[in-house]
Structure 1
């Protein structure tokens, strides 16, 4: 079965992180319509977009009963209203991150989807980063024993920061922290406490560009960090357990390829030569050192999972509980000045 789909928004998010993967899945998805307020005929005329109906009328999507799935690739402040309209018109919805601006908006969308018998889900593509999947593989294997600390970085060296004022959803915490938090929640669930350090370092006129969160799960501490002033990068992941440690230096290479114009389906797309390093003590007391193949990530697995939900009635690839936990951690960061320690309700 092929699902007719549509996109609201035709910017970098859609053209880089969504459509190239959907086009690799023509046996399961057909992109029928794309809504864009600002039409761009030259881009629309490119070969890969032939056969798609472009429009500046949202009703061309909402009133088309053949369209079952709509992906929102628009600014965060528009997510709730667009998603609500789509659900009200019987469409399943994928929402780019962050899912919504507030907890109340997220709750309302899930309630409406349940009422309509539909699916609404965030686009958490970083669950399918090769580096994260390598760390998850090691944790799930149990060779490290009880995990005591998990650390994740998303760093750049971008010292220039021209004035770009905005609100809390425009900062690095909502934009990048949502990925790091979601990965931690997928591994460990709902934390008991969260410590926030969120700052605007390069330009005080702008929203935050630096953050560190410490999420506490009993004896486990998860640390997620982001900075735009890191010239010598940290390892992407560090995992320490009672029996050993795992380190993965480099991040998944899909984004690097996409930015270079190398698309999914191209030879060696997303592949990397750097292995994760696993060192642990086995039950006989022997010290074992292994290289862990990170494999190749695939953001298109979000669409595979949504297809399985819509066609085969599989559970959503991200549970509502996980979505709401991530949204609560994001939203409560700005209830008080940082640094701050909160207990989740």
Structure 2
């Protein structure tokens, strides 16, 4: 009989109900035992979970005192991540925390040390390691079509010209969007040797940053992560240059778009690209022939973060995001504002 992983959520907002719970529902080996939120109503999502046995409350102590909980998932506003993660780790709970994990490397190191000392699972919810576009790029690189990589760029573009907001560094695009893109690069290439930053507020100079173009420098490779909120015409999502070829993927993963319109994991066509959205690969083979082909998009699945957490907690597998990778990402983010 398959062992169940009993989980609890701290936070029950849009992110919990869009990027987490729909995927957990597809996994019979994961059970949502508790949800803690500052306020409780009778939203349909709550009623649906209560009908299957999930307990709702407003006090995180209810999770801490429940010995049946195997994993606590923190999906609160980012400013609360550090305090909740520390409280739960000190109480002996395994923790999966939404991103950005924390604001400073010092905070991240402290949490990692607590988890190590208590032999606990602790990891950020880096779901965009399972974006379909990223998985497709990773496959093209691994299959060797491009030769030695020279330059790789990933863009996260939106057109929101009137949505400038106030806040601190932790509230801007660099932490909010950069955390995804930096983690993708770190997962592929490791910790960069040098980082070159261009981080700005472009819609309102007194607002939080809404633009960045940051170069992660590796031996013989520049990996650029970039985002803007004023892209009326977006960049390609990925451009990858190598000594033997080039791969361009124009479009983003479709999971988020489908979730926003009410499609869910398990629905027919969920998260799938149409052939018109496949990435274009141009390369030269061993005979010097120029080959152009479209690469079918690898299926994405944010729920695979939960699969990895299950394997790590129940079966002792390595974590999806290592402590070294986690710390490298936070260090890269924090240093963007240190000069």
TM-score with structure 2 setting the length:
0.96
Distance of 2:136 and 2:88 partners within structure 1: 36
Which of 294, 298, 304 is 2:297 aligned to?
Answer: 294
2:190 — aligned with what? Answer: 189
Partner of 2:149: 147
- In structure 1, what is the Cα distance between the partners aligned to 2:104 and 2:238? 29
Which residue in 1 is equivalent to 2:288? Answer: 285
- 1:324 corresponds to 2:327: yes
Contact 1:68 1:90 in 2 (8 A): no
User: Counterpart of 1:54?
Assistant: 56
Q: Alpha-carbon deviations, 1:119-139, whole Å to 9, x = none?
A: 100001000000000000011
Structure 1 spans left out of the alignment, 5+ residues: 337-345
Determine the structure 2 residue equivalent to 1:68: 70
- State the 1:46 CA deviation: 3.8
| Per-residue deviation, 1:218 | 1.8
Give the CA deviation at 1:42.
2.6
Gaps of 5+ in 2: none
CA-CA distance at 1:92 after TM superposition: 0.7
Total equivalences in the alignment: 334
Selected match of 1:136 from 109, 130, 138: 138
Q: Hey, what does 1:232 align to over in structure 2?
A: 233
Task: Give the CA deviation at 1:290.
Answer: 1.8
Mapping 1:12-161, distance limit 5 Å: 12-25=14-27, 27-50=28-51, 51-161=53-163
CA distance in 2, matches of 1:316, 1:42: 34
Once superposed, which parts of structure 1, at least 4 consecutive aligned residues long, lie more than 6 Å away? none
Q: Deviations 1:12-67 (Å, cap 9, x if unpaired)?
A: 11011101111111x21100100000112234544355321110111110110000
User: For each residue in 1:221-263, what CA deviation from the matched residue of structure 2 results, as whole angstroms up to 9, or x when unmatched?
Assistant: 0111100111111111010000010011100000001111111
Equivalent-residue separation in structure 2 for 1:265 and 1:129 (angstroms) = 16
Give the SS at the match of 1:24.
coil
Contact 1:161 1:203 survives alignment (8 Å): no
Helix, strand or coil: the match of 1:94? strand
TM-score normalized by the length of structure 1: 0.95
Distance 1:288 1:187 in 2: 25
RMSD: 1.1
Say which of 311, 316, 329 aligns to 1:313. Answer: 316
SS state of the match for residue 116, structure 2?
A: helix
- Alpha-carbon deviation of 1:295? 2.6
What SS class does the counterpart of residue 40 from structure 2 fall into? coil
Answer yes or no: is the 8 Å Cα contact 1:150–1:240 preserved in 2.
yes
SS at match of 2:72: strand
Q: Describe the SS at the equivalent of 2:223.
A: strand
